[in-house]
Amino acid sequence: FFSMLAAFTIFYIETGEFSIKAIINHSNDSPMIYLALILILTAAMTQSALWPFNKWLISSLNSPLPVSAIMHAGLVNGGGFLILRFAPLYFDRPIILKLIFIIGLLTAILGTFWKLIQSDIKRMLACSTMAQMGFMMVQIGLGLFSAAMSHIVLHSIFKSYLFLSSSGSVKEKRESLHYPPTLASFLCSLFCGAIGSYIFAFVSGNIFLIKDSSALLISVAFIASSQVALSILRFNIIIKLPLALLASAILGLIYGFNLNIIESILLPIDLWMPQQLNILHIIGLFILLLSWLTMIFGRYLEPYIPLKIKLMLYVKALNASQPDPNTITTFRNYYKY
**Distance between CA atoms of 167 and 94, rounded to whole angstroms?**
44
Model pLDDT, residue 333 = 56
Residue 46 neighbours by CB distance under 10 Å: 18
Cα separations in angstroms, 293 against 178, 226, 236, 245, 277: 14, 11, 22, 20, 23
Compare 266 and 283 and report the one with higher pLDDT.
Answer: 283
> Binning pLDDT at 50, 70 and 90, where does residue 74 land?
confident
Amino acid in position 6: A
268 upstream amide cis, omega within 30 of 0: no
Instruction: Supply the pLDDT for residue 27.
Output: 67
pLDDT, residue 337, reads: 47
164-168, 304-308, 320-324, 327-331: lowest mean pLDDT where?
327-331
Q: What is the pLDDT of residue 18?
A: 81
Q: What is the mean pLDDT of residues 304-311?
A: 84
The pTM assigned to this predicted structure is 0.88
SS percent in the chain: helix, strand, coil, step 5: 75, 0, 25
Segment 152-185, tens digit of pLDDT: 888 888 888 888 877 666 555 555 566 788 888 8
What dihedral do alpha carbons 319, 323, 324, 326 form, nearest 10°?
Answer: -130
Residue 134, CA atoms < 13 Å, CB-side half-sphere: 25
The residue-averaged pLDDT of 303-310 equals 83
pLDDT tens digits for range 88-124? 888 888 899 999 999 999 999 999 888 888 888 888 8
For the cut 90, the answer to whether the pLDDT of residue 38 exceeds it is: yes
- Which of the pair, 173 or 43, is modelled with greater confidence? 43
- Residue 144 forms beta bridges with which residues? 272
**Phi and psi (nearest 5°) for 250?**
-65, -40
**Average predicted confidence (pLDDT) for the chain:** 84
Among 197-201, 315-319, 320-324, the range scoring the smallest mean pLDDT is 320-324
Residue scoring higher pLDDT (192 or 61): 192
Q: Please, are residues 252 and 197 in contact by the beta-carbon 8 Å criterion?
A: yes
Q: Where are the beta strands (DSSP E) in 106-208?
A: none
- The pLDDT score that the predictor gives to residue 173 is 58
Bridge partner residues of 276 (DSSP): 212
* Residue bearing the bigger pLDDT, 167 or 250: 250
Of the pLDDT bands very low, low, confident and very high (cuts 50, 70, 90), residue 16 is confident
* For range 183-192, the mean pLDDT: 91
pLDDT of residue 171: 58
Check if the beta carbon of residue 265 is closer than 8 Å to that of residue 150: no
- Which residues, 6+ apart, have CB-to-CB distance to 280 below 8 Å? 98, 101, 102
CA-to-CA distance for 274 and 23, rounded, in angstroms?
Answer: 23
